[in-house]
Amino acid sequence: MVPMILNTAAYHFVPIADPSALAAQVRAWAEAGALRGTALIASEGVNLFLAGEERAIDAFFEQLRADPRFAELRVKYSRSGAQPFARLKVKVKPEIISFRRQETSPLAGRAPAVAPATLAKWLQQGHDDAGKRVVLLDTRNRQEVEYGTFAGALTLPIDKFTDLPEAMQPHRDDLSDATVVSFCTGGIRCEKAALWMQAAGMDNVLQLDGGILGYFEQVGGQGYDGRCFVFDERVALDPELKPLVDAA
């Protein structure tokens, strides 16, 4: 029997005084458990996509959460029959998700969020709890959107996340009377996108807590068409978090 691989996605915004030292520690823990994937470390926090045997994954996150800075780290899980990463990569970066706008740092506080169960209720009833129409805003790039998105979502013709502010400009007036729920794969891009939209004068924007993967995990596929693109050899996950490609 092929052993099941536990796949994880996690990010956490917190000040890191010495990203290089943390990166060395993360690499040592991951290598000790034969984990593969990508770990991005920056002065603003960590962004992790790691996969391996369950005991090794549990040990890694137990060690990381022992650091008070990461005690509240939230992890999203899925399983596959094969290891979806070819190797382990640990990198120190200027940002854990590149947006290049200083006014959007989640270190000063995050934008308001909506829980997956609440969004599912809004989609079912056709409006939010105040009776306003709900517009879902996909902050991902066009390649990701091709695999699936929420039904009726506003998608943008962008190739990279840094293109979002310019692409949003033509839509601002049309969204002024709506509750806008921004979403992405795991939530990290919306941490910055929603803050940028607030700073740009859009006070009607929420972020989907946990992103699409968190929605799948807690709610399933209600209101979602297709799969969610992921950045590894599984290619995309369905609402049951099963991979499109799972070759041994």
Q: 211: alpha, beta or left, given left = phi > 0 and alpha = psi -120 to 50? A: left
Asked whether residue 171 is assigned to any structural domain, the reply reads yes
What confidence tens digit (pLDDT) does each residue in 113-169 have? 999 999 999 999 999 999 999 999 999 999 999 999 999 999 999 999 999 999 999
Asked if 78 and 116 sit in the same domain, the reply is no
Contact at 8 Å (CB) between 230 and 137?
no
Find, among 70, 64, 83, 62, the residue nearest to 6 by Cα: 83
Same domain? 113 vs 80 = no
Position of tokens 């008070």?
Answer: 68
Q: Is residue 226 part of a domain?
A: yes
User: Is 119 found in the same domain as 58?
Assistant: no
Residue 193's domain comprises 102-237
Same domain, 107 and 218: yes
Q: Are residues 120 and 158 in the same domain?
A: yes
Q: Are residues 86 and 145 in the same domain?
A: no
Amino acid at 199: A
- Residue 62 sits in the same domain as residue 42: yes
Q: Which residues contact 38 (CB under 8 A, 6 or more apart)?
A: 48, 49, 50, 85, 89, 90, 91, 231
75 within 8 A of 47, measured Cβ to Cβ: no
Candidate list 46, 96, 134, 184, residue with the active-site label: 184
| Owner of token pair 């790039």 | 141
245 lies in some domain? no
Model confidence at 247: pLDDT above 60 = no
248 lies in a domain? no
Q: Residue 40's domain is classified under what CATH number?
A: 3.30.70.100
- Model pLDDT, residue 102: 79
Whether residues 109 and 187 fall in one domain: yes
> What single DSSP character describes residue 81?
S
pLDDT of residue 1: 47
Distance CA 93, CA 140 (A): 20
The answer to whether 190 is a known catalytic residue is no
Structure-model confidence comparison of residues 33 and 246, the more confident one: 33
pLDDT at residue 2 tops 60: no
Residue 248 identity (one-letter amino acid) = A
* Count of domains observed in the chain: 2
Q: 229 and 117 in one domain?
A: yes
Residue 70 tokens read as 């990461």
Confidence of residue 3 (pLDDT cuts 50, 70, 90): low
* Whether residue 119 is found in the same domain as residue 222: yes
pLDDT at 18 over 80: yes
Are 220 and 245 in contact by the 8 Å Cβ rule? The answer is no
Q: Could you read off the pLDDT of 21-76 as tens digits, one per residue?
A: 999 999 999 999 999 999 999 999 999 999 999 999 999 999 999 999 999 999 99
One domain, residues 135 and 222: yes
